[in-house]
Amino acid sequence: MSFRTTGTTSTTSSTDRTAAVDYVEDVSPGEGALAPRAWYASSDAKCLSLNGSWRFRLSQTADAEDDSFAADGYDAGDWAEVTVPGHWVLQGEGAFGSPIYTNHLYPFPVDPPRVPTENPTGDHLRVFDLPADWPQLSDGGAVLRFDGVESCARVWLNGTELGEFKGSRLAHEFTVGHLLKTVGNVLAVRVHQWSAGSYLEDQDQWWLPGIFRDVTLLHRPAGAVRDFFVHASYDHVTGEGTLRVDSDVDGRVTVPALDIDVATGEPVAVPVEPWTAETPRLYDGVLATEGERVPLRIGFRTVELADGLIKVNGEPVLFKGVNRHEWHPRRGRALDLETMREDVLLMKRHNVNAVRTSHYPPHPAFLGLCDEYGLWVIDECDLETHGFVEQDWRDNPVDDDRWTPALLDRAARMVERDKNHPSVVIWSLGNEAGTGRGLTAMAEWIHARDTSRLVHYEGDWSCRDTDMYSRMYASHEEVDRIGRDLDGGTGKRRGLPFLLCEYAHAMGNGPGGLADYQRIFEAHDRVQGGFVWEWIDHGIEHPTLGYAYGGDFGEELHDGNFVCDGLLLPDRTPSPGLTEFKKVIEPVGVEGCGDGTVRVTNKQDFADLSALAFTWSFEADGETVASGGLPVPALAAGESAEVKLPQPPPDLPAGAETGWTVRAVLAEDGPWASAGHVVAWGRLPVTARVAPSVAAAVGPVAEGGLISLGPAAFDARTGALRSIGPVAVTGLRLDVWRATTDNDDGTDWKSHVRHSTLWRELGLHRMRHRLDAVELGDDALTVRTRVAPAAREVGLSTVYTWRSDGDRIQLTVSVTPEGDWTVPLPRLGVRFGLAEADAVTWFGGGAGEAYPDSRTASAVGRWQSTVDRLQTPYVRPQENGARADVRWAELGGLRIEGDPEFWFTARRWTSEQLDAARHRTDLAPGDTVWVNLDHGQHGLGSQSCGPGPLPQYFLNAAPAEFSFVFTATG
């Protein structure tokens, strides 16, 4: 192998062998590909998918093999096979290398544009015949399209080299008509994992080489459409839409529903229904040239920056968005259409109205779905150079003119490919790439090419190149200040609208604080919403670990489970965070006015309420006792009305806790959910419950090593509870520990406030329980203890008082902190073990998990589940599964009533086991079900990348008293 001594590939003298792979380290975007253009499916021109099984050979270096495999007649019979689209590291059961996860660190030495000698290189070979109905080879031409190849590819057809390209998540096309044969076409593609392009693709995700999107052969008849640009604007004053389709091959444009039949390039104005994400009205049209007909899906809408706001069709938009990486737990970023559709459906069903395609243009079909179902899109360029932050951004490619052609190529490939999607309202230059001339060049090019959309980039707070001020993970307080225009900032920025392109880091259990953000977004016009980080956990299905994350493939550098920070678990199960988000961003507000009326507010930006029906139900002790429809006027966007509720039903059980639930549901089956799907709801309490209490009627009696009190038995020496009626109870005592969440654990760059570190330093995970006294009183058993960690002076004086009326037994716990407590507690309550428990019924918050700053979606009602189903299987195990505001719960033969309401958790392992587990599969159910009844829980926050819990969600050590009444139900 040759050894080169100088750095820049283009000027290096080298042997022929190495020169043959110089393109890999060349900063230019490549050679041979056609100019970028709109991505579309023709109505009549043929196309042939080359997806499927390809022959595959993996080499460890870029130059290990010559290009003879590309020649006609090469025998690849002994090669392996891979599926295209796909990533080779996710195929072959480890035989083809493995994925690498890093957040921002380059997994190779930073010496741009050089890449390591060890450069996994996959040769892909596919032989294909033209289908019988393929037109004559003399009829026009053909184009070969690659929709996505990571990170650099060189392509040959029938032995002729077509070129090479970089820009992994962008389309590249080659003219191939002159090379095609009817049978036995040999398509050879060499893919290098690392290239100069890798320096531009340092997104926080798995590094996954391969041909991961479609490969298609497109017939291009003579006179076919090449590129076209649909300009479809909407004038909200006149209600007219203006359509002009520019096409580089002349033709006609027809839109039957609008009686439009005009030449390309000619504008036409007609009254239309506009496109918005809430009302995604698309008009079907056709662009016909001499050689081809192309279906158009036209959405009329106008995006502008006006009055310092992002407006669509004259109205400011509030983005309730998510950041979406493309992810499938087995196929990585090779997504099929159904998975893309599932994402869109899940978003719509959870009230999400916007997507940022972090951090690269998605498969184009995804944008088609966004047009169809209605989602605002920030389409982001395939650009991130985050790893240069390690050297204070020195040598950053975006500030180095040599790289500018590559940056402009990426910008053009995104804009040209996606320009005809009405859903795309904002172009984003990329993510975390510092600042520099290259970004300015991209923004200038984009602004000039497309005046109908706005430009976003977060990394430059001066907003030099952008139409909006964008930030990530700013605290509530800062966002509020920005909303009040108190954020300082220089000239241009001051007049710009604000959005959070990332916030509410959804890693593990969380995010907390969503509702608090939403209140701020809704309070200030300038703040136009945000995009939760992120949509889905990028866990990789693994035979022994459940889902793998960073480090599970032996990577030398990795960022662990930071890759699992989504609102969906890897299999697309919605996490409690998504349920919370759905509630927080619901498009209809429902609030009680206290006098038998409810105030309904249409919180949408465009649509009226005519698509929704309203229902009421009246609940007593969590059970619905009456229900019906609620007539609500079809309020226009932004309007509210007070609506009278019916009379409460008669004959309610005495002392019952009662309340109304008003729901807004889809009135009819729609494209993304069926009639009855709940879009929004509100609960209006009427009468409060009567707190449980036990009038002591019996006293404790010691006998034979046991103390009995009513239905309960205790150890006479320790005062420990042994049983309640026939139910054995073990280990009941105060508990302050929780298996720390990713948000408790925080992140390196916020080390000063990492709660789990502070908690562990203090020893809250190893509290000792000192017994001070077991006192048998006339009507109570009192057990006095002090709960404290070794080596520290802080402690919790804890007194357990038991009283019984003969049938039931009440435990009152009173806790008095001693010493100087400077950190909040993870939780405060009691825990105990039950030998057998499975079914769980409770009256309180549900159906899902809730924590102090993520409890908006928790609905008070009567719920049933099982111990197993109470768990949320976060990819990295951590505290989960609490149910909020529980009045009473029944499991394992016990009924437990709380005063006040409590947090209820039950699991088949201890918090300590949960804390120690690294993967789901580390958790083995034991014989005991551990139950936590908590008086308090510390908030969640989103400190794994953003701010911690707000002060009001801190569980500060303070004197507390709480009680539970236990009854054996057996």
Catalytic pick among 25, 173, 292, 432: 432
x/- binding map, residues 532-551, to ligand IPT, per CB under 6 A? -x------------------
Q: Alpha-carbon distance 49 to 239, whole Å? A: 42
Quick one: 204 or 849, whose CB is closer to ligand IPT?
Answer: 204
Which single residue is written with the structure tokens 């390591």? 116
Shortest distance, CB of residue 424 to ligand IPT, whole angstroms?
20
Quick one: 550 or 881, whose CB is closer to ligand IPT?
Answer: 550
Looking at the DSSP bridge assignments, the partners of residue 666 are 612
8 Å CB contact between 400 and 349: no
Shortest distance, CB of residue 506 to ligand IPT, whole angstroms?
9
Catalytic pick among 150, 173, 416, 502: 502
Quick one: 62 or 472, whose CB is closer to ligand IPT?
Answer: 472
Give the chain's end-to-end CA distance (angstroms, integer).
78
Nearest residue to 506 via CA among 609, 584, 454: 584
Q: Which residues ranging from 722 to 781 are in contact with ligand IPT (CB under 6 A)? A: none
Quick one: 205 or 871, whose CB is closer to ligand IPT?
Answer: 205
Q: Alpha-carbon distance 308 to 357, whole Å? A: 24
Phi, psi of 355 (to 5 degrees): -135, 135
Count of helices and strands (H, E) across the chain: 12, 58
Quick one: 747 or 801, whose CB is closer to ligand IPT?
Answer: 747
Phi-psi region of 615 (alpha: psi -120 to 50; beta: other; left: phi over 0): beta
Residue 103 binds ligand IPT, judged by CB under 6 A? yes
Which one of 312, 454, 787, 945 is in contact with ligand IPT (CB under 6 A)?
Answer: 945
Residue 502 binds ligand IPT, judged by CB under 6 A? yes
Shortest distance, CB of residue 63 to ligand IPT, whole angstroms?
33
Neighbours of 132 (CB within 10 A): 6
Dihedral sign for Cα 710, 715, 720, 721, please.
negative
Residues 6 or more apart from 543 whose CB is under 8 A from it? Answer: none
Q: Which residues ranging from 447 to 486 are in contact with ligand IPT (CB under 6 A)? A: 472-473
Quick one: 801 or 944, whose CB is closer to ligand IPT?
Answer: 944
Residue 385 binds ligand IPT, judged by CB under 6 A? no
CA atoms within 13 Å, Cβ hemisphere of 489: 25
Q: Alpha-carbon distance 848 to 567, whole Å? A: 14
Quote the Cα angle for 225-52-198, to 5°: 75
Pairing of β 260-263 and β 251-255: antiparallel
Neighbours of 694 (CB within 10 A): 22
Q: Alpha-carbon distance 454 to 467, whole Å? A: 6
x/- binding map, residues 332-371, to ligand IPT, per CB under 6 A? ---------------------------x------------
Q: Which residues ranging from 183 to 212 are in contact with ligand IPT (CB under 6 A)? A: 204
Quick one: 359 or 765, whose CB is closer to ligand IPT?
Answer: 359
Quote the Cα angle for 252-257-258, to 5°: 65
Give the total of residues touching ligand IPT (CB under 6 A): 13
Shortest distance, CB of residue 357 to ligand IPT, whole angstroms?
12
Shortest distance, CB of residue 547 to ligand IPT, whole angstroms?
17
Residues 6 or more apart from 618 whose CB is under 8 A from it? Answer: 624, 625, 626, 627, 648, 649, 658, 659, 660
Shortest distance, CB of residue 786 to ligand IPT, whole angstroms?
42
8 Å CB contact between 137 and 177: yes
x/- binding map, residues 902-941, to ligand IPT, per CB under 6 A? ----------------------------------------
Residue least distant from ligand IPT (Cβ): 204
Quick one: 25 or 565, whose CB is closer to ligand IPT?
Answer: 565
Nearest residue to 169 via CA among 189, 149, 141, 140: 149
Quick one: 929 or 945, whose CB is closer to ligand IPT?
Answer: 945
x/- binding map, residues 50-89, to ligand IPT, per CB under 6 A? ----------------------------------------
8 Å CB contact between 569 and 875: yes
Could you tell me where the beta strands, DSSP code E, fall in 586-710? Answer: 588-592, 597-602, 612-620, 623-629, 640-644, 658-666, 678-687, 701-703, 706-709
8 Å CB contact between 918 and 811: no
Looking at the DSSP bridge assignments, the partners of residue 723 are 713, 728
Shortest distance, CB of residue 566 to ligand IPT, whole angstroms?
10
Q: Alpha-carbon distance 291 to 67, whole Å? A: 37
Q: Alpha-carbon distance 552 to 542, whole Å? A: 9
Which one of 565, 879, 890, 934 is in contact with ligand IPT (CB under 6 A)?
Answer: 565
Quick one: 560 or 763, whose CB is closer to ligand IPT?
Answer: 560
Tokens of 387: 């790893």
8 Å CB contact between 105 and 86: no
Residue 605 binds ligand IPT, judged by CB under 6 A? no
Phi, psi of 752 (to 5 degrees): -65, -20
**SS3 of residue 66 by DSSP:** coil
Residue 854 binds ligand IPT, judged by CB under 6 A? no
Quick one: 480 or 565, whose CB is closer to ligand IPT?
Answer: 565
Q: Which residues ranging from 388 to 447 are in contact with ligand IPT (CB under 6 A)? A: 431-432
Q: Give catalytic status of residue 432 as yes or no.
A: yes
Quick one: 603 or 750, whose CB is closer to ligand IPT?
Answer: 750
Looking at the DSSP bridge assignments, the partners of residue 263 are 252
Which amino acid does the sequence have at 354? A
Nearest residue to 889 via CA among 907, 899, 904: 904
Active site residues: 432, 502
Binding site residues, ligand IPT, CB under 6 A: 103, 204, 359, 431-432, 472-473, 502, 505, 533, 562, 565, 945
